[in-house]
Structures are given as structure tokens and as C-alpha cells.
Amino acid sequence: MLKISHRDKKAVGYPGTRWSSVNAPYLFIAPSFVLLAVFFVIPVVAAFLMSFTDFDIYSLAHFRFARFVGLGNYMNLFSDPLFWKSMFNTFYFLILGGPLTIFVALLAAVLLNSKLVKFRSLLRLGFFAPVVATLVAVSVVWKYIYDPRFGLLNYALSFLGVAPRDWLSDPVWAMPAIILFAVWKNFGYTMMIFLAGLQTIPEVLYDAAGIDGAGSWQRFWRITVPMLAPTTLFVTVVTLIGYLQLFAEPYIMTGGGPMNSTLSIVLLMYRQGFRYWQMGYAASLAFVLAIVIFILTMIEMRVQKEGSAV
Amino acid sequence: MKKRSVKSLALTSVVAVAVMLVLIPFFWMITTSFMKSGESFSYPPRFWPKAFTIQQYQILFQRLHFLRDFLNSFAVASLMTVSSLFINSLAGFAFAKYNFKARRFMFTSFLVTMVIPGQVGMLPVFLILRQMGMLNTYWGLILPGTVSAFSIFFFRQYMSTIPTDLIDSARIDGCGDFKIYWRIMLPLARPALVTLGLFTFLGTWNDFMWPLIVMNKDSMYTLPVALANLMGEHAPDTELMMAGSVVTTLPVMILFLALQKSYVSGLVAGSLKE
């Protein structure tokens, strides 16, 4: 390393020159800028162009076989029942799974923030364990937990008098099963963020409310919830973006079935693009997903802003 | 006073029971992985093997190729961690400590990439790697994911807190720019390096979709891809699948436990950045 800087100086003639200090930041940013251009900016532009072509397995052999088809892919997409099915499934997952994850996380965070609870850092770690676990590995484990004959879930439910069910092979129950798994896997992350947010709420607010005769329920709704609003916005956006990209869970647990009831947008894109090599079609799917994520994030931020202004 | 301690005990028990419920899948995964083949096919389900056996692990490492998959995962995650720490900290340093013309433009362009989901460029990246002959190579898996706007941002924030006086005095002593980065900034940014290194290692190890696309030769599989494929062939072998899951997830969970303080502090810092 010494040698490099030594050579730099020689190149400009005398040590400590302006040259190196003016150009150094560009040299330092250059590697990431080049990588970003090659593996992000160019591909995103290329994907955009690709979504207007019929790029398929023949084009894979020679790129020039791809023909311009205008809005053809988008037209096909919007008239493809499978696309609407995957949209529906992804939103089902998001609308049920998102709030559930955030609610469980908030509950866990409020409990763990109470000074009455002992061994808090240890218990916190327990809730967080699923977050760091490898998604594919725990998806495999949960597939067996949902097993109709020997699975733990049916066994646990039998104590409540619930009849056994083949969760992942039932078009009605497969998605709820995946949602339950996703809540288990992800709530620990949101809980950690909420815990950090709770720590920033000044104790005096609660003391003052207590003097004014507010009960713990009132204190929660009137102090904790509004004070956590910025944190809630952050976790909502993160959950939203993450959940719209649902992929590995259905890939491992159901393969998108039964009867496409767990087919997500990204899973459909993966199939079209990398299994059937309909890359033009898949590219248009990817863009629709990106636009959906963008619009929802914008709406979410606007709604929260207005909510907190009131 | 007494009422308070009763309440404390009750609340602690409630949370403890909830934690145990959350951990049951891990517990069951580990104990089942030490069972003989077929032993878990019982009702009510068994939570403890009749006799502990490492039979499943022997199958994984001797008959199947989990050792190779493990080494692939380890190599990819390590190389990714080192290269992304280097490249992103270098850029973060430039943004933190230099005033230059294109600074604003470049910083904004990095931030913009955070809004666009990774899947959008996936198809062309695959084609680019294919043209470069980098499918089924470690670097094909690593290079597209090396630059992280989040990491650059994180390094910039951290390095901004390091006094500029240190740089000035080093410069008076005749230190070159790279030497300032390597000898002064990097050692002082150690906590940021540990946190981001951990994030990157875990993220790369746990990643599934990208290795699934880039690595289609079984000698290049990472553990999650190998496990997903094993599921296709050995779905009825519950005990074997559990052993495979243990091998896949336990290394990163242990790593996390060892370094959990830096992980959690980074998580929180990342969420409070606005």
C-alpha cells in the first residue's frame, strides 16, 4: 500500500500536490461507480428496452433475434389471468401479513420495554432469532411443521379441538400458512426498530399523564402510538417493499400452488424469465412490480404525513 | 411492593412462554436432525430422538455434497464481505471528507438506486454475466451485489464523525490520500466495518434468488440452493432435510450470537438515519 501512494506522488512530480487531492475522491468512488453502472444502471435501462421486445430463448442465442413489439408484452400481461392472480396473491400476502407483522412486533416491543419484565436482552434475542436464520432453511422446517399427518401445527391445534388439515395443499389455507410463517420470520426485525423508537420517548410524558390520571391503555394510545409515528412509517415502508418481493417462501413451501394460490409476482417473473426464457415478458413484469412498489411507497409516505399533521 | 413483584413474575412468564413458542421450530429442527431415518413419522410428534445419531449428517457430507456447498457458501460470503467493505468504505470516505464538483450528483445517484428493487435489472445482469462467461463463478455471484448504497451511506455517516484534523496533520506529515484512508480512516471506522461486514456476510449467506439464477451447475451451489434442490429429491426424508437445514442456518446464527451487539446497533442506526 505504501508503494502505491509513493508512486502517485512521483507521477505528479512533487509530494503533497494538489493533483492527488483533487482527483483522489474520484479515484475512490470510481470502483463503486463503475460496478454500479455495469451491474445496475445499464441493466435497468436494458430491462426497460427489453420489455418492449419479444426477447426469448432464440434471442438468447443471438440478441438480434429479439424484435420490437411495442407495448405487446404489457398488453399480454394485462390480459393474462395468471398475472392478475399473482397480483392478487401478492397483495393478499401484503395486506394481511404486513399489518399482522407490525402489530405482533409492536406488542412484543411494548412488552419487552416494560421494566417489569426480567431477562429482557435474552428474551429479545429469542424473538430475533428467526430474522437471522436462513430463509430457505426455515421455510423447509415450516413445510414439515405444516405436514398434515405428523406436523406440529395440527398436533398443537388438536388440543383446541381443531381437525387436522393439509395446510399447504389447500388453496384456501396455503397463503394464510405462508403469512403465518412470514410473520414468525420477520416480526423480530420490526420489534427491534420499535424498541429503539420506544427508548426515545421521554419518561416524563408518561409520568405527567399518570398524574393527570391516564390509565395504561390511554397512555399507550395517546403517547406511545403518536410518538412512534416516524418509526412506524419506516417499518411500514420497509415491510411493504420486502413483502411485495415475496419469492423464496412459496418457491420452497408450495411451488406457487395449489392452483396458483400462492404464486407471487416475483415467482411468476422468475418462471417466465429463467424457466421459460420469456425474458421480454418477464422484464415487463419486473417493471410493473417496480412501479407498484414506487407508487405504494409514495402513497404510504403521504398518508402518514397527513396523519401525523392532524 | 409485593404486588409489583407478582406482576413482574407474571409478565416475565408470559414473554418467556412466547419466546419458547417462537423457538420451537429451531428446537424441533435440531432434535429431529439427530433421529434415525423415519423416526419422525409418528403421532404425536416426537421432540427427542430415541437415540442420538449423526447418520443424517454422514449422508449429507459423505454421500451428498454438502461439504462442497458449505465451502461455496463460505467462499462467496467471505469474498463478498471483503470486497464490499473495501469498495463501499472507499466511496464513503470520499463522500465524508472531500469537497469535489460532482459530489452532490454522485451521492444522489447512489441513493436513487435504493428505491429501485433489485429484480428489475436481474434479467440483463444475467445476460451480461453470460456474455462475460461469469455464470457459475464466485465473482459472477459477487460483483453485481458488491456496491451497496446503504453501506456507502453508513460509512459516510460514520466517517464524518472522525475529526478532519487527523487528516490534515497526516497530510502535513506527507501522507498520501490512499494512505490516509488505509492507515487512519479504516482503523478508526472499525465498528462500522464490523457491523456492515456482519450484515453483508449474513445477507450473502442467506440469499437465495440470485444464487439460484447464477449457479446452475451443482458443483457451484451455495447451501440454500443445495437445500432447495435436496427438497426436490428427498422431501420424504424429514430427518435428512432437518440436518440440511441445521447445516445451512446454524453457522450464521452462531456468528450472529457472537457479534450481536454490533448487529443490533447497526440495525437501529440504519433505521434512524432520516
DSSP B137: S
The helix/strand/coil state of A68 is: strand
Q: Which helix (H) or strand (E) holds A54?
A: none
A199 in contact with B at a CB cutoff of 8 Å? Answer: no
d(CA B117, CA B137): 24
A39: nearest CB among B41, B144, B244: B144
Lowest-confidence region among A157-166, B66-75, B241-250? A157-166
DSSP A201: S
pLDDT in tens, B117-175: 888 899 999 999 999 999 999 999 999 999 999 899 999 999 998 888 888 888 888 88
Q: How many CA atoms are closer than 13 Å to the CA of B187, on its beta-carbon side?
A: 6
The pLDDT assigned to A12 comes to 35
pLDDT in tens, A236-245: 989 999 999 9
Average pLDDT, chain A: 88
Q: Give the domain ranges of chain A.
A: 16-65, 72-309
Nearest Cα to B43, choosing from A177, A170, A158, A165? A158
A61 neighbourhood in chain B, CB within 8 Å: none
Residue type, A128: F
pLDDT in tens, B211-247: 999 998 999 999 999 999 999 888 889 999 999 999 9
Nearest Cα to A257, choosing from A203, A177, A191? A177
Residue type, A88: F
Whether residues B123 and A283 touch (CB distance < 8 A) is answered with yes
Superfamily designation of domain B61-271:
MetI-like (1.10.3720.10)
Average pLDDT, chain B: 91
d(CA A24, CA B241): 52
Nearest Cα to B189, choosing from B268, B274, B266? B266
Whether residues B12 and A294 touch (CB distance < 8 A) is answered with no
How large is the average pLDDT for residues A153-164? 92
How large is the average pLDDT for residues A48-74? 86
Q: How confident is the model at residue B95 (pLDDT cuts 50, 70, 90)?
A: very high
The residue assigned the cell 422446517 is A141
Minimal Cα distance from B225: which residue of A? A136
Lowest-confidence region among A167-171, A206-210, B63-67? A206-210
DSSP B64: S
The pLDDT assigned to A59 comes to 82
Whether residues B16 and A129 touch (CB distance < 8 A) is answered with no
Q: Which helix (H) or strand (E) holds A14?
A: none
Share of chain A above pLDDT 70, in %: 92
The pLDDT assigned to A310 comes to 44
What single string gives the DSSP state of each residue in A140-196?
Answer: HHHHHHT-TTT-HHHHHHHTTTPPP--GGG-TTTHHHHHHHHHHHHHHHHHHHHHHH
Q: Inform me whether the pLDDT recorded for A17 exceeds 80.
A: no
A54 neighbourhood in chain B, CB within 8 Å: none
Q: By the 8 A CB rule, do A146 and A139 touch?
A: no
Question: A210 vs A92, which has greater pLDDT?
Answer: A92
Question: A266 vs A217, which has greater pLDDT?
Answer: A266
How large is the average pLDDT for residues B68-74? 97
Query: How many Cβ pairs closer than 8 A exist between chain A and B?
Result: 278
A252 in contact with B at a CB cutoff of 8 Å? Answer: yes
d(CA A180, CA B232): 23
DSSP A220: I
d(CA B158, CA B172): 24
Angle (CA) B227 B229 B230, round 5°: 60
What residues are paired with A68 via a beta bridge? A53
Domain A72-309 has CATH 1.10.3720.10: yes
Whether residues A46 and B176 touch (CB distance < 8 A) is answered with no
Q: Give the domain ranges of chain B.
A: 61-271
d(CA B43, CA A148): 11
Residue type, A260: N
ipTM: 0.93
Q: Inform me whether the pLDDT recorded for A172 exceeds 90.
A: yes
Helix axes B149-160, B66-97, angle to 10 degrees: 50
How large is the average pLDDT for residues A74-98? 96
